[in-house]
Amino acid sequence: MKQSRSKVVPADERRSQVRDRYATIATGGQVAVAPLTSSCCGGSAGSSCCGGGASPSCCGDSSVSLELGYTPEQLAGLPDGANLGLGCGNPTAIAALMPGQTVLDLGSGAGIDCFLAAKKVGARGSVVGVDMTPEMLLKARENARKGGYRNVEFRLGEIEHLPVADGSVDVVISNCVINLAPEKGGVYREAFRVLRPGGRLAVSDVVATRPITPEERANPTLWSSCSSGALEVKEIKSLLRRAGFTEIRVVLKGSETTPESLQGQASLGVASADIQATKPPGRNA
């Protein structure tokens, strides 16, 4: 008897699925939800995040953001509409940002982490956000205008193909986005390329605590809701090493600290983690 084979989803099709989902979120529409997913990234069962019938823990209610590590002071200073509740951590809390630095945010969404980083690097520093969804980019730029952020710029692009010059960035941050990329090795290689020697990667993302089946990976709703695209810790470390990074740390937060908004990912064997790595001081490429 011939065994069925799971569909291998092409990278461009995967990006299109993710782009469509986040375009809908950016414009306030209804998004499909996966049976196993109850996060702000994927919406809660029977409702959607940032759409009709949104879960009260998503999009506008700060409770989920406080659980993820943001402070009340940080949230109070944001422009309205910058916090869509789509993250799984607070990368600016682990990035050790300093005045005058240049920061790059991979998958910047409506701009929350860019705006928080902008305050830390100050007027002498700068922040670049890259996102592949035009609707999200428009939202972020409008938020920057409303908030008067002169040191923040948003660019359209894929995080596997960054519109950023070699060796021009001090710190790369990202929040629950790299798991959505179909070519994660390319993301880490690009992050390495744009970092200056001695630069750092500081990422909040979801990681898999068990193997994810091919069927789960092929499910577009599970993937685009920050679930089945996650990699195991050993896979992430391997990709970072191959990209050239050293001082690699992946700190799994574990299900006991997973906020209610991420329990759907936990049921799939996915949990939040902080990922850090360094580009060696002697490396220019």
More confident residue, 207 or 65: 207
pLDDT band at 8, cuts 50/70/90? confident
Q: Any idea which residue has 């998958």 for tokens?
A: 107
Cβ neighbors of 37 (< 8 A, separation 6 or more) are 43, 45, 221, 222, 225, 227, 264, 265, 268
Q: What is the mean pLDDT of residues 127-135?
A: 98
pLDDT tops 50 at residue 219: yes
Task: Write down the pLDDT at residue 49.
Answer: 36
**The pLDDT value given to residue 265:** 67
Cα dist from 191 to 77, 153, 159, 200, whole Å: 28, 17, 8, 9
Output phi, psi for 6, to 5 deg.
Answer: -70, 145
Whole-number average pLDDT of the chain: 86
**CA-to-CA distance for 94 and 131, rounded, in angstroms?**
21
Per-residue confidence (pLDDT) for residue 237, from 0 to 100: 98
Pairing mode, strands 195-208 and 270-278: antiparallel
Q: Average pLDDT in the 65-88 region?
A: 91
pLDDT at 36: 43
Mean per-residue pLDDT for 262-284? 83
pLDDT at 253: 83
Fold of domain 11-278? Rossmann fold (3.40.50)
In tens, the pLDDT along 34-75 reads 544 434 454 332 223 333 333 333 444 577 788 888 999 999
Q: Encoding tokens for residue 242?
A: 């191959």
What is residue 43's predicted lDDT score, i.e. its pLDDT?
39
User: What does 213-267 look like in DSSP terms, one character per residue?
Assistant: PHHHHH-HHHHHTTSTT--BHHHHHHHHHHHT-EEEEEEE--GGG--GGGHHHHH
pTM over 0.85: yes
Which neighbouring-strand residues pair with 195? 169
Q: Is residue 192 helix, strand or coil? A: helix
Separation of alpha carbons 132 and 50, rounded Å: 19
Q: Which residues, 6 or more positions from 239, have their beta carbon under 8 angstroms from its beta carbon? A: 184, 185, 188, 231
Q: Which two tokens stand for residue 120?
A: 């830390």
Q: 67-76: long-range contacts (C-beta < 8 A, 24 or more apart)? A: 67/259, 67/260, 67/261, 68/204, 68/259, 68/272, 69/93, 70/116, 74/116
Residue 49, phi then psi, degrees to nearest 5 = -85, 130
Number of other residues whose CB lies within 10 A of the CB of residue 63: 14
Q: Which comes out higher in pLDDT, residue 41 or 162?
A: 162
Nearest-5° Cα angle at 9, 7 to 14: 150
Higher pLDDT residue, 50 or 223?
223
